[in-house]
Chain A
Amino acid sequence: MSDTKIDESGPETTLIDLRNAERGGAVRRLLRAQSFQILLVLLVIVAIFSAIAPDYFAQLSNFRLIVQNASILAVIGVGMTFIIITSGIDLSVGSVLVFSGVVAAMVMRAIGGDGWGVAFIGIVVAILSGLAWGILNGVLIAKAKVPPLIVTLGSMGMALGFAQILTGGIDIREAPAVLSDVIGYGNVLGTVPVLSVIALVIVVIGAIVLHYTRFGRYTYAVGSSEEASRRVGVKVDRHLIKVYALSGALSGFAGILSLAQFNTTAIAGQSTTNLNVIAAVVIGGTSLFGGLGTIFGTVVGLFIPAVLQNGFVITGVQPFWQQVAVGAVLIVAVYVDQARRSSALRGGQSTSSLWRRLVTRSPK
């Protein structure tokens, strides 16, 4: 981090101009935020597909399914956003999801029954299974100082391996009926999927925790400068463990949601979930270098690939194009992040606008 780099050329504004700087700043900052600009990109994509296929794409029933399919990823995305803001990474989310689903399914099968009681036990078991993997990740990263990429790459393999050991590789296809009927395919108010309502609640709670609590503040601080945080007395190790534990617990919860949606543990599935979620977080403006990011951005970042895929399928485009388009969006998003960071550290406009950067010429 070049926070010790001193900039001599920056004009020193004499005395305090705080009151002016803050007035009207909120709106301007919102317009400049990358997550907001990404939202505009999403709206443009939606508008294009709506124009091409108004009868098929621009239907409430279609949007409903897009939202439903993004719900489980959104739950994982909340935890991943926290982790990436600390400048970490969690590759194990998909495997932890499968592991937790397997353990929960086995426990529920052992207890038997189709009611809420057993379903509730399953939910708790899934969250605890995920939490255990998260704590293991966190301890290895914070205490043993193994890089997050390696730790979670390892636990990714281990969690999936244990899931296969526990089941012999054979999916468990029994889950309490209430899970599938109410959570997996149930609706609120007739059309809103329960799965999406659950995801929304978690997203909102995640956003409040990240942006308004001390836990969230420390998350940014640790990602911004671990050393500075340590010096002022933030318990960095403990905080990192908590953040990975959070991600693990959310992946575990996603495991029971997946079980509810697919009615099987889908051990062979979720193979690209980790990368899809990481891509969404990064597209949403969270910096891989830490210190920057929003939950809102992550949610928007999830919908861009989801809408692209849906739109491409509906307009009959070859399936391979979706990956190409999402890859391009990802690279542009990271490019903008890089440009913004270097601008901020030069001491210039810290939140240089995507549009100003790409559409107008910078001075000189």
Chain B
Amino acid sequence: MTVPVLEAKGISRMFGHVRALDNAHFDIYPGEVVALIGDNGAGKSTLVKALSGNLAIDSGEILFDGEPVQFTSPNQASALGIETVHQDLALAPHLDPVQNMYLGREIMQDGIGKLFGFMKTAEMREKSRIAFDELGATVRSLTLPVGSMSGGQRQAIAIARAVSWANRVVFLDEPTAALGVRQTKNVLETIRRVRDKGIAVVFISHSMPHVMEVSDRVQVLRLGASAATLTTSKTSMEELVGLMTGASTKGIS
């Protein structure tokens, strides 16, 4: 754990006169869950967009495996193994889990079959099944449309899809928002399994109990700047809430 897989050094971004990111820092190591927290408007989503290639930065530096990179498109981030699961999941509700899993990246048949656009359906199904099994995802059926499934199941499918494409860093934007107790438990378990595969997980959440439960470290953003970086086991919910709201301060580690 010497080099962070992804690191942001003093990045800033203005929207008109609004300073969305102000000299912010962020780092994450392989096989680690880092929670990114902050009040509404603290710059969480701006930071995630910058780190996933969806937004250009005005100043600062982004390092991938210690090497400086300049993201110009999300595809470039994807190519490096970085994926984001947005809150709306980006699943097509009428398609089944396998079809969603490989949407846009279908495994095509060889030779003449590929020419006519035929896919390797069996292979995609088998690989999806393995991926869901590995994450302990509770997918009710591989052939029902995902629109008919519960929020937890859809979240699991979206995470499994991101993980199957990204082998380095996965951003999860509010994955437990509005989930029931049992579904939340399953999603958090899925996050741990992703981490155990050696993938870095950035967990963006408003839910302090979930942050405390699943993360290894917490990075707090306030007013576009890094307010603190803490080891989860050595902090408390009260301290985190204090840092988010500015009621207490703590030196940046």
* Chains A and B share a contact (CB less than 8 Å): yes
Residues of A bordering B, CB below 8 Å: 1, 3-4, 6-8, 10, 12-18, 21-22, 25, 29, 209, 212-215, 217, 220-221, 223-225, 227-229, 231-234, 290-292, 344-345, 347-350
- Type the 1/0 row for B111-151, where 1 means its CB is closer than 8 Å to any CB of A: 00000111101000000010011001111111111111111
Chain A nearest CB: distance from B187 CB in Å? 11
- Chain B residues within an 8 Å CB radius of A6: 150-151, 178-179
Establish whether residues A4 and B103, one from each chain, have CB atoms under 8 Å apart when the complex forms.
no
Q: Do A217 and B119 contact each other (CB < 8 Å), given the known contacts A15-B136, A21-B140?
A: yes
Q: How far is the CA of A340 from the CA of B117 in the complex (A)?
A: 31
Q: Which of B59-105 contact A (CB under 8 A)?
A: 75, 86-95, 99, 103-105
Q: Which 7 A-B pairs have the closest CB atoms?
A: A291-B94, A6-B151, A350-B148, A213-B117, A224-B92, A232-B104, A10-B150
Q: How far is the CA of A18 from the CA of B97 in the complex (A)?
A: 11
Q: Do A344 and B145 contact each other (CB < 8 Å), given the known contacts A4-B89, A224-B95?
A: yes
Majority secondary structure, B binding face: loop
Establish whether residues A3 and B89, one from each chain, have CB atoms under 8 Å apart when the complex forms.
yes
- Chain A residues within an 8 Å CB radius of B180: 8, 12
- Output the nearest chain B residue to A14 by Cβ-Cβ distance: B138
Establish whether residues B186 and A12, one from each chain, have CB atoms under 8 Å apart when the complex forms.
yes
Establish whether residues A213 and B142, one from each chain, have CB atoms under 8 Å apart when the complex forms.
no
Q: Which of B176-196 contact A (CB under 8 A)?
A: 178-180, 182-183, 186
Chain B nearest CB: distance from A204 CB in Å? 14
- Chain A residues within an 8 Å CB radius of B147: 3, 224, 344-345, 350
Chain A nearest CB: distance from B149 CB in Å? 7
Of the candidates B106, B129, B179, the one whose C-beta lies within 8 Å of that of A214 is: B106
- Chain B residues within an 8 Å CB radius of A220: 92, 94-95, 99
Q: 23 A–B contact pairs at CB < 8 A?
A: A4-B89, A6-B151, A6-B178, A6-B179, A8-B183, A16-B133, A18-B142, A21-B141, A21-B142, A213-B117, A213-B119, A214-B106, A214-B117, A217-B103, A220-B95, A221-B103, A223-B94, A232-B103, A344-B148, A345-B93, A345-B148, A348-B148, A350-B144
Q: How far is the CA of A15 from the CA of B153 in the complex (A)?
A: 11
